[in-house]
Amino acid sequence: MKHIYTHDNIVVLHSAKNILALNGIESFVKNEHTTPIGSVHGINNTFLELWILNDEDHEKAAAIIENEVENQSPKDSWICSACNEENDGSFEVCWKCQSAPSANQV
């Protein structure tokens, strides 16, 4: 097991965990249940950390976090070919009709 990422926002940390999972990398959040007592022990003494289970995944996981979490480049919006609705670039399917973008829109 190796530490891969630290963030003070549990939502961001779980997003990073989910991105790693989508790429086949197993990980877990450490200290997520100790956050409420952070005020008792000093907030700077409680860190939310993401750890990967397999050490050999460290380099791949670090690259994924760097590209997908830290330096996330915005994706262009796209128009659904089924219903002509405009969708944010982060949407994988149309919010209105749930159709996937066409191959030239990905």
| DSSP annotation of 92 | S
The tens digit of pLDDT for each residue in 24-77 reads 999 999 988 775 554 555 555 568 899 999 999 999 999 999 988 887 677 889
Q: In whole angstroms, how large is the CA radius of gyration of the chain?
A: 18
Q: Count CB atoms within 10 A of the CB of residue 26.
A: 14
pLDDT band at residue 16 using 50, 70 and 90 as cut-offs: very high
Alpha helices in the chain (DSSP H): 10-22, 38-41, 58-64
The pTM for the full model equals 0.60
Residue written as token pair 């159709």? 99
Taking the C-alpha atoms of residue 49 and residue 93, their distance in angstroms, rounded to an integer, is: 31
Taking the C-alpha atoms of residue 45 and residue 50, their distance in angstroms, rounded to an integer, is: 16
Q: Which fold has domain 2-70?
A: Alpha-Beta Plaits (3.30.70)
Ordered by start, the domain boundaries in the chain are 2-70, 74-106
